[in-house]
Structure 1
């Protein structure tokens, strides 16, 4: 009797459009540290997933989850020491005046709540995002998304602005000139919203611009953008789902790498190392003003189990010195990638910091023509060689390198050596 494959069964109950990685999807049965094991027993080096930020199936996190689940799991309308202690610890890691935490389950919920909060405290409704962004899958966020196809039309109360990249700037352009040009785009968006009677409430960005392919942004751009938006009556929302939790190595949060303190910070995926834990960090004053007008409650957000997991994540980052690891291994990885670029003309640019890099592939270095087909080949051939990465960018020509923070120098060598062999075969 014919038995349908797992892929066929998935199509039947989840639909053909549910996304999958790679031309030949993988079936994993186990994870440990930076390794994923497939059903045939083969191990794959994970150089992509930031969700298990301190490693797949981290024993300390598994133990914390089990202990708390066996003891108590309730919602936040009851007092609980674990929940309050975690909120105290999380807010202490942020700069003033970010001193209050609102719990959610997902980054989408966090960004949705952040928009509600921004619109409430400012009295405005307009939102500005980048022209290649993704911040979640609620309706209001889908109406802002420009990096992925959605059935919702782009919101009339929003504007999308380009983000500067020094690599893509015309030859001879100075950083200050590029910054001024793109600040002018932002000012035009602010003016446009105001002219139609929907002044700006928020600029919502990932401060490393991950979906935008980690562009080489002029050093003062984000701070100037925040100043401009605040002068127009809006606030800065920093989405830290990809750029936070020691990812840069130099700082705990991506916004600190830009020398700016946001008005609202949103957290997600790595906050629970894969457990559904997310949140919004902002000032207590704003949280209480908002809460007085709109009772916010999330049944599963901030449960004692979630708090125990979140605490264990922070313990692992601190106890295992993972921020320092991201910095040191990241520098080594960068050196190796730059050396690789000297041997392969296909590599147009290497950019990023810590354990987060973008390798842009181009057919022609002078004209910077996107090598989209080649990037797809590289990603799939690496998969065949036991290495997992992905690709990003408007033309899908940029290799996205974002491993768990326990990634070591030996793992970097394995990845770069394999990438070298793959590039040689193209």
Structure 2
């Protein structure tokens, strides 16, 4: 039998016909073990997991067609790798009772070979739909370490005929495809294989050979969950495909297996490539061969599964893999081979020098390069005010306007266009322009900037030179007698008759048969720029957008910006614009903002922008001057408060508001002692920080409070010492005990401060009647009651304007900030006249910008918008809908312990155990990071940082709320 015939025969083998009962008998007879058996998946072997008192094992049953020498090679490889200190964990071979590592058996007249291996504990990576970039990188590292461990291993059984040997991918695929029924799919696979083989052929002599596992895939790698629940690869099983093959094929098999986790993005493999290269450096030829080998592996996978199901239709393992193997193929062929080579080179630091674009004549010689209006469509472009960026005809109208003014107009190459962004999308949109659009007078002539072959294809006019291809769209081709044209030949005209303006698109490409996309997703930008260089040289004017550098900007920030001023996320997007409940980064990605309670009316509100801008143009000074807006704003605030709270202080922030409230308590009571709640946060000034006890904000909070602060047990009805609505009296008793101790020590009470909904803990409502009882005890001792409404007030709760309304109480002092100015620095203290006047004996009070004309106008306009756009009502209706959907997640996912809050101040608390309430801190961080990848801004809160703090702008639409829940469900289902 020839090698080719042997290989074909191998591809047609079904699994051994050995039942679970028969497997139990074999284990007992040959290994002296008894236990439960459970079948494990395999394509052509039959594998059983065996649970015995002596441990857990795997019984592997191979057909007799597999030469004993091959099985000996697998055993030897396991022993070799197992003896390497830096190698991944692998199983070990367990000899039979007779001392044999391979036992020949016969069952019902059929000859088989069996082996027993130790069972490698862990979770196969294939069980997680999503693998984090860190996990992907470790998988690549594991493959690299295994390749290094096998470098000095050799065995005669490595020379074998195996369908997975990528050196034979071409003939194997041809054989397998011959039996495929789906003709259209068969043709696609064949075309992909031909393209991959053509790319590989000149490289094969340069590819290193050694012993390789050839199957370090998500199926054959087990991982352990880290603290966040993320799987970290660490052990490799199933050496059934070990052979002598190309080193780079080891990495190709690993990368191919990752593609069904990639959510359609082939660049997802790059962390694995980089990590493999770090431990097992690739050569230039191997870098060039890697993606064609991945395509080849994908083609063999789908063809092999199709054939195997024809032979063994009941093979659940193959059935289960078929769908994701097809996904692997689709992702592998979704991009040009050349693109992935550039991406891989960039990942491993082996980039080729960029070739300069050389032209001999300008493409449009009749236009003056110094008089072209270049239109800026980027995030900060001056032509895109308010929401103009998402109108369908914006780009065309702006080009026409610029062309009328300058005679000609152009867009910019390499620009991340805001006009291409899309809201509420889990994937980043294609925003990087790989072309230039021109607006010129009709009938403007277009000439060949270099000589070449001229063809028309799918609405494009393409001029192909030696290494460069010019694509023109929207033009009227000139009549030519020959496909070959020389430099300067007229090849087209701009459509339309003067003075009508016409449009055309100009794009360059370095790949001959590729019709390149107009736009690329940002993280693929570097590779696509290599394939589609700038046309600036042939246009004759600078049409290149300046590069963005979010990482460099972050480095500058960290260099000069004080370290305690933290930023969200380890690798944060550079956010430079917002609209309603959306934020935009400089690459045109839109994020749903679910955490920014400062912008209560939404980002970029044109009405607020106009009002503040007008006031800045008129006057801005301090409140010691006499002007109308400070009186109007003070009146409006007092009218929002309960009767009797008629006096207003205007300040710059919530911290200042709480600091001033404490000073007012001191001044009006003549005492100093303050009672506050544990787990609370009130600000960063000396006094507001003193009454803040959140260890999430300050790990030293509980040991560094001054002696005038007396924290009491947090009335957290979910995870506190007393739980449920009936816990009011217990929590009140803890306050009573503290007050009694102050009485015993003859220490007078100045007041009590608390949020009216437990905001920092995730929006947990206080137990019914709690504030009524506590306020009464405080007032009986001459203290004042401060309601911190900085986070929860101003309509955010939907059902109430102020949080204290839910408790049915009236405080002595209300503090408010955050949304008052929609991001403008503005806060307020609202109190009774006699409390305010008590401060005057200590001198007058002044805040530089708290009551300035601009601040007051900002505050007045926000109140008008809250009323006119019915944002409190929106907070109620959308918030109620959002809470119901979040609560439904709790019925599906055990990690969701509770959903707190109301309106648009909600908290989802994650726990590892619903009985012990062990906080899922690391999981919450991982969830927030994955949500960012899916286009949602979210952050954790609470002392254990295990609660999602959900406090979006009050203009949040129902559609946006649903997108948030859908993305959260996706993360909980797929992993992080």
The corresponding residue for 1:372 is 921
The corresponding residue for 2:277 is none
Matches of 1:244 and 1:78, distance apart in 2: 29
The corresponding residue for 2:648 is 101
In the TM superposition, residue 367 of structure 1 has moved relative to its aligned partner by 2.0
The corresponding residue for 1:27 is 574
Does 2:674 match 1:127? yes
Does 2:613 match 1:66? yes
In the TM superposition, residue 216 of structure 1 has moved relative to its aligned partner by 4.3
Matches of 2:919 and 2:838, distance apart in 1: 48
Instruction: Classify the secondary structure of the residue corresponding to 1:369.
Output: coil
Question: Normalized against structure 1, the TM-score is what?
Answer: 0.95
In the TM superposition, residue 113 of structure 1 has moved relative to its aligned partner by 0.9
Instruction: Classify the secondary structure of the residue corresponding to 2:764.
Output: coil
1:211 to 757, 760, 763: 760
In the TM superposition, residue 150 of structure 1 has moved relative to its aligned partner by 7.0
Matches of 1:42 and 1:136, distance apart in 2: 32
Deviations 1:136-182 (A, max 9, x none): 111222222211227782111111112223333679x6633x11111
User: Cα RMSD between the aligned structures?
Assistant: 1.8
In the TM superposition, residue 231 of structure 1 has moved relative to its aligned partner by 1.3
Does 2:640 match 1:89? no
Kept in 1: contact 2:664–2:838 (CA 8 A): no
Identify the range of structure 1 (126-135 vs 404-413) with the bigger mean alpha-carbon deviation: 126-135
Kept in 1: contact 2:622–2:851 (CA 8 A): yes
The corresponding residue for 2:384 is none
1:130-149 counterparts in 2 under 5 A? 130-147=677-694, 148-149=697-698
Unaligned runs of 5+ in 1: none
Aligned pair in 2 of structure 1 residues 74, 162: CA closer, same or farther (>3 Å)?
A: same
Does 2:847 match 1:298? yes
2:891 to 318, 321, 342: 342
Aligned pair in 2 of structure 1 residues 154, 174: CA closer, same or farther (>3 Å)?
A: closer
1:393 to 942, 945, 951: 942
Matches of 1:321 and 1:359, distance apart in 2: 26
Matches of 1:293 and 1:397, distance apart in 2: 43
Kept in 2: contact 1:157–1:198 (CA 8 A): no
Deviations 1:345-397 (A, max 9, x none): 11011111000111111111122211111111111100111101111111111
Does 2:710 match 1:159? yes
In the TM superposition, residue 402 of structure 1 has moved relative to its aligned partner by 0.6
1:241 to 767, 771, 790: 790
In the TM superposition, residue 285 of structure 1 has moved relative to its aligned partner by 2.5
Matches of 2:665 and 2:699, distance apart in 1: 24
Instruction: Classify the secondary structure of the residue corresponding to 2:912.
Output: strand
The corresponding residue for 1:285 is 834
Aligned pair in 2 of structure 1 residues 174, 130: CA closer, same or farther (>3 Å)?
A: closer
The corresponding residue for 2:627 is 80
Matches of 1:319 and 1:261, distance apart in 2: 27
In the TM superposition, residue 224 of structure 1 has moved relative to its aligned partner by 1.1
Identify the range of structure 1 (7-16 vs 92-101) with the bigger mean alpha-carbon deviation: 7-16
Does 2:926 match 1:403? no
Instruction: Classify the secondary structure of the residue corresponding to 2:808.
Output: coil
Matches of 1:368 and 1:289, distance apart in 2: 46
The corresponding residue for 1:180 is 729
Q: Which has the higher contact order (CA 8 A, sep 6+)?
A: 1
Matches of 2:842 and 2:563, distance apart in 1: 43
The corresponding residue for 2:313 is none
Matches of 2:876 and 2:710, distance apart in 1: 35
Identify the range of structure 1 (39-48 vs 67-76) with the bigger mean alpha-carbon deviation: 67-76
Matches of 2:828 and 2:961, distance apart in 1: 32
Aligned pair in 2 of structure 1 residues 151, 184: CA closer, same or farther (>3 Å)?
A: closer
Deviations 1:99-133 (A, max 9, x none): 11011111111111111111111111101111111
In the TM superposition, residue 96 of structure 1 has moved relative to its aligned partner by 1.5
Aligned pair in 2 of structure 1 residues 100, 36: CA closer, same or farther (>3 Å)?
A: same
Aligned pair in 2 of structure 1 residues 6, 327: CA closer, same or farther (>3 Å)?
A: same
Kept in 2: contact 1:214–1:352 (CA 8 A): yes
Instruction: Classify the secondary structure of the residue corresponding to 1:5.
Output: helix
Deviations 1:187-223 (A, max 9, x none): 1222233344432211111111101222243211121
Matches of 1:200 and 1:58, distance apart in 2: 44
In the TM superposition, residue 399 of structure 1 has moved relative to its aligned partner by 1.1
Considering only CA atoms, is the larger Rg found in Structure 1 or Structure 2? 2
Matches of 2:619 and 2:594, distance apart in 1: 35
Instruction: Classify the secondary structure of the residue corresponding to 2:901.
Output: strand
Identify the range of structure 1 (157-166 vs 121-130) with the bigger mean alpha-carbon deviation: 157-166
Kept in 2: contact 1:356–1:401 (CA 8 A): yes
Does 2:903 match 1:360? no
Deviations 1:40-88 (A, max 9, x none): 1100000111000000121111111011111111211121111101110
